[in-house]
Amino acid sequence: MTLETTLGLALMAGLAIPAGALVSANPRLRTFCLEHEIDSFVSYFGGGALLAAVALVLVPFGMAHSHVAAAAAAFLLGGLVFWQVSTWLKRRGSTASQFLGMLLDFIPEGIALGAALATGSHVAYLLALLIALQNMPEGFASFHEMRRGGMRLGRLWMVFLLAPLVGPIAAWLGFAFLSAEDQMLALLMLFCSGGILYLIFEDIAPGAHMTRETLPAMGSVAGFLLGLIGAMLIH
Protein backbone atom coordinates (compact mmCIF):
# COMPACT_ATOMS: atom_id res chain seq x y z
CA MET A 1 0.00 0.00 0.00
CA THR A 2 1.22 3.53 -0.74
CA LEU A 3 1.44 6.39 1.73
CA GLU A 4 -1.14 8.31 -0.33
CA THR A 5 -3.65 5.46 0.03
CA THR A 6 -3.00 5.35 3.76
CA LEU A 7 -3.53 9.07 4.26
CA GLY A 8 -6.63 9.02 2.04
CA LEU A 9 -8.30 6.19 3.96
CA ALA A 10 -7.50 7.78 7.31
CA LEU A 11 -8.89 11.12 6.12
CA MET A 12 -12.09 9.47 4.86
CA ALA A 13 -12.55 7.79 8.24
CA GLY A 14 -12.02 11.16 9.91
CA LEU A 15 -14.48 12.99 7.65
CA ALA A 16 -17.24 10.97 9.31
CA ILE A 17 -16.78 13.32 12.30
CA PRO A 18 -17.95 16.53 10.54
CA ALA A 19 -20.55 14.42 8.66
CA GLY A 20 -22.11 13.52 12.00
CA ALA A 21 -21.84 17.15 13.08
CA LEU A 22 -23.62 18.23 9.89
CA VAL A 23 -26.60 16.04 10.75
CA SER A 24 -26.62 17.39 14.31
CA ALA A 25 -26.46 21.00 13.07
CA ASN A 26 -29.62 20.59 11.00
CA PRO A 27 -32.59 21.11 13.36
CA ARG A 28 -34.98 18.98 11.31
CA LEU A 29 -32.57 16.09 10.91
CA ARG A 30 -31.57 16.23 14.58
CA THR A 31 -35.21 16.24 15.71
CA PHE A 32 -36.06 13.39 13.34
CA CYS A 33 -33.11 11.31 14.58
CA LEU A 34 -33.98 11.93 18.23
CA GLU A 35 -37.71 11.24 17.78
CA HIS A 36 -37.14 7.97 15.92
CA GLU A 37 -34.10 7.01 18.04
CA ILE A 38 -31.95 6.72 14.94
CA ASP A 39 -29.09 8.25 16.91
CA SER A 40 -29.34 5.37 19.40
CA PHE A 41 -29.37 2.77 16.61
CA VAL A 42 -26.31 4.35 14.97
CA SER A 43 -24.46 4.48 18.31
CA TYR A 44 -25.21 0.81 18.92
CA PHE A 45 -24.15 0.05 15.33
CA GLY A 46 -20.82 1.80 15.90
CA GLY A 47 -20.34 -0.10 19.15
CA GLY A 48 -21.03 -3.43 17.46
CA ALA A 49 -18.66 -2.56 14.63
CA LEU A 50 -15.94 -1.64 17.11
CA LEU A 51 -16.48 -4.87 19.02
CA ALA A 52 -16.05 -6.73 15.72
CA ALA A 53 -12.80 -4.86 15.07
CA VAL A 54 -11.50 -5.88 18.49
CA ALA A 55 -12.65 -9.51 18.29
CA LEU A 56 -11.87 -10.24 14.64
CA VAL A 57 -8.94 -7.99 13.75
CA LEU A 58 -7.01 -6.36 16.58
CA VAL A 59 -6.89 -9.13 19.20
CA PRO A 60 -6.17 -12.01 16.75
CA PHE A 61 -3.21 -10.08 15.29
CA GLY A 62 -1.97 -9.19 18.76
CA MET A 63 -2.21 -12.78 19.98
CA ALA A 64 -0.34 -14.08 16.93
CA HIS A 65 2.65 -11.74 17.30
CA SER A 66 3.25 -11.38 21.05
CA HIS A 67 3.88 -13.45 24.16
CA VAL A 68 1.19 -14.11 26.75
CA ALA A 69 2.55 -11.85 29.50
CA ALA A 70 3.21 -8.91 27.16
CA ALA A 71 -0.17 -9.32 25.45
CA ALA A 72 -2.06 -9.40 28.74
CA ALA A 73 -0.13 -6.39 30.06
CA ALA A 74 -0.78 -4.32 26.91
CA PHE A 75 -4.49 -5.17 26.87
CA LEU A 76 -4.93 -4.36 30.56
CA LEU A 77 -2.90 -1.15 30.26
CA GLY A 78 -5.13 0.03 27.42
CA GLY A 79 -8.22 -0.39 29.56
CA LEU A 80 -6.60 1.33 32.56
CA VAL A 81 -5.36 4.30 30.52
CA PHE A 82 -8.72 4.90 28.86
CA TRP A 83 -10.45 4.53 32.24
CA GLN A 84 -8.24 7.23 33.75
CA VAL A 85 -8.67 9.55 30.77
CA SER A 86 -12.45 9.09 30.84
CA THR A 87 -12.55 9.75 34.59
CA TRP A 88 -10.43 12.89 34.19
CA LEU A 89 -12.66 14.27 31.42
CA LYS A 90 -15.83 13.67 33.44
CA ARG A 91 -14.28 15.26 36.52
CA ARG A 92 -13.54 18.39 34.50
CA GLY A 93 -17.19 18.58 33.49
CA SER A 94 -16.13 20.07 30.17
CA THR A 95 -18.65 20.34 27.35
CA ALA A 96 -15.85 19.07 25.11
CA SER A 97 -15.38 15.85 27.07
CA GLN A 98 -17.09 13.67 24.46
CA PHE A 99 -15.16 15.35 21.66
CA LEU A 100 -11.82 14.86 23.41
CA GLY A 101 -12.70 11.26 24.16
CA MET A 102 -13.48 10.73 20.48
CA LEU A 103 -10.07 12.10 19.46
CA LEU A 104 -8.25 10.05 22.09
CA ASP A 105 -9.96 7.01 20.60
CA PHE A 106 -9.23 8.04 17.00
CA ILE A 107 -5.46 8.51 17.48
CA PRO A 108 -4.48 4.91 18.34
CA GLU A 109 -6.96 3.59 15.78
CA GLY A 110 -5.32 5.77 13.11
CA ILE A 111 -1.88 4.48 14.09
CA ALA A 112 -3.10 0.90 13.86
CA LEU A 113 -4.69 1.66 10.46
CA GLY A 114 -1.45 3.10 9.07
CA ALA A 115 0.62 0.20 10.34
CA ALA A 116 -1.83 -2.34 8.91
CA LEU A 117 -1.75 -0.65 5.49
CA ALA A 118 2.05 -0.57 5.51
CA THR A 119 2.12 -4.35 5.87
CA GLY A 120 -0.21 -4.70 2.86
CA SER A 121 -3.04 -6.13 4.93
CA HIS A 122 -6.46 -5.75 3.29
CA VAL A 123 -7.95 -5.85 6.79
CA ALA A 124 -7.06 -2.15 6.92
CA TYR A 125 -9.97 -1.32 4.57
CA LEU A 126 -12.39 -2.96 6.98
CA LEU A 127 -10.75 -1.18 9.90
CA ALA A 128 -11.12 2.20 8.14
CA LEU A 129 -14.82 1.52 7.58
CA LEU A 130 -15.34 0.55 11.22
CA ILE A 131 -13.54 3.69 12.42
CA ALA A 132 -15.78 5.84 10.20
CA LEU A 133 -18.92 4.11 11.50
CA GLN A 134 -17.79 4.87 15.03
CA ASN A 135 -16.82 8.49 14.30
CA MET A 136 -20.12 9.56 12.75
CA PRO A 137 -22.41 9.05 15.79
CA GLU A 138 -19.68 10.42 18.06
CA GLY A 139 -19.44 13.50 15.84
CA PHE A 140 -23.23 13.89 16.06
CA ALA A 141 -23.24 13.68 19.87
CA SER A 142 -20.11 15.82 20.36
CA PHE A 143 -21.38 18.66 18.19
CA HIS A 144 -24.70 18.70 20.01
CA GLU A 145 -22.94 18.70 23.40
CA MET A 146 -20.52 21.53 22.56
CA ARG A 147 -23.18 23.66 20.86
CA ARG A 148 -25.41 23.29 23.91
CA GLY A 149 -22.43 24.34 26.06
CA GLY A 150 -22.38 27.74 24.36
CA MET A 151 -19.46 27.51 21.93
CA ARG A 152 -19.77 29.92 19.00
CA LEU A 153 -20.87 28.24 15.78
CA GLY A 154 -17.93 29.48 13.69
CA ARG A 155 -15.36 28.25 16.19
CA LEU A 156 -17.22 24.98 16.57
CA TRP A 157 -17.13 24.27 12.84
CA MET A 158 -13.43 25.15 12.69
CA VAL A 159 -12.75 22.53 15.38
CA PHE A 160 -14.82 19.87 13.63
CA LEU A 161 -13.31 20.55 10.19
CA LEU A 162 -9.78 20.26 11.60
CA ALA A 163 -10.53 17.09 13.59
CA PRO A 164 -10.30 14.71 10.56
CA LEU A 165 -6.63 15.68 10.09
CA VAL A 166 -5.81 13.74 13.26
CA GLY A 167 -6.42 10.53 11.31
CA PRO A 168 -3.81 11.02 8.55
CA ILE A 169 -1.20 12.23 11.07
CA ALA A 170 -1.73 9.17 13.27
CA ALA A 171 -1.82 6.86 10.23
CA TRP A 172 1.47 8.32 8.96
CA LEU A 173 3.12 7.52 12.30
CA GLY A 174 1.91 3.93 12.08
CA PHE A 175 2.87 3.62 8.41
CA ALA A 176 6.35 5.13 8.75
CA PHE A 177 7.54 3.79 12.09
CA LEU A 178 5.60 0.67 13.06
CA SER A 179 5.13 -1.23 9.79
CA ALA A 180 8.24 -3.40 10.22
CA GLU A 181 7.76 -3.95 13.94
CA ASP A 182 5.23 -6.79 14.19
CA GLN A 183 5.59 -7.18 17.94
CA MET A 184 5.31 -3.45 18.60
CA LEU A 185 2.27 -3.24 16.33
CA ALA A 186 0.73 -6.27 18.04
CA LEU A 187 1.13 -4.68 21.47
CA LEU A 188 -0.32 -1.40 20.16
CA MET A 189 -3.35 -3.23 18.76
CA LEU A 190 -3.87 -5.02 22.08
CA PHE A 191 -3.51 -1.72 23.92
CA CYS A 192 -6.14 -0.17 21.63
CA SER A 193 -8.36 -3.23 22.10
CA GLY A 194 -8.36 -2.85 25.88
CA GLY A 195 -9.18 0.84 25.60
CA ILE A 196 -11.89 0.37 22.98
CA LEU A 197 -13.51 -2.44 24.95
CA TYR A 198 -13.64 -0.18 28.00
CA LEU A 199 -15.18 2.66 25.98
CA ILE A 200 -17.83 0.38 24.47
CA PHE A 201 -19.18 -0.72 27.85
CA GLU A 202 -18.53 2.51 29.74
CA ASP A 203 -19.64 5.07 27.19
CA ILE A 204 -21.05 3.92 23.84
CA ALA A 205 -23.61 1.29 24.91
CA PRO A 206 -24.90 3.12 28.04
CA GLY A 207 -25.05 6.40 26.08
CA ALA A 208 -27.11 4.78 23.34
CA HIS A 209 -29.56 3.09 25.72
CA MET A 210 -33.12 4.39 25.67
CA THR A 211 -35.89 3.20 27.98
CA ARG A 212 -38.76 3.56 25.50
CA GLU A 213 -37.61 1.24 22.74
CA THR A 214 -35.63 -1.98 22.55
CA LEU A 215 -35.17 -2.16 18.76
CA PRO A 216 -32.20 0.27 18.54
CA ALA A 217 -30.02 -2.24 20.42
CA MET A 218 -30.25 -4.46 17.31
CA GLY A 219 -27.85 -1.94 15.82
CA SER A 220 -25.06 -3.63 17.80
CA VAL A 221 -25.92 -6.94 16.08
CA ALA A 222 -25.95 -5.25 12.67
CA GLY A 223 -22.62 -3.56 13.36
CA PHE A 224 -20.92 -6.77 14.47
CA LEU A 225 -22.46 -8.60 11.49
CA LEU A 226 -20.90 -6.06 9.14
CA GLY A 227 -17.51 -6.66 10.74
CA LEU A 228 -17.96 -10.43 10.60
CA ILE A 229 -18.88 -10.45 6.90
CA GLY A 230 -16.08 -8.02 6.07
CA ALA A 231 -13.47 -10.08 7.91
CA MET A 232 -14.62 -13.30 6.22
CA LEU A 233 -14.58 -11.72 2.76
CA ILE A 234 -11.08 -10.33 3.30
CA HIS A 235 -9.69 -13.64 4.53
**Rounded Cα–Cα distance for residues 218 and 215 (Å):** 6
Q: What is the pLDDT of residue 205?
A: 61
Each residue of 47-67: pLDDT tens digit? 777 788 788 878 888 899 999
pLDDT tens-digit readout, 28-46: 887 887 777 776 777 777 7
Burial label for 225, CB within 10 Å (0-12, 13-18, 19+), is middle
pLDDT at 204: 60
Residue ranges for the chain with pLDDT beneath 50: none
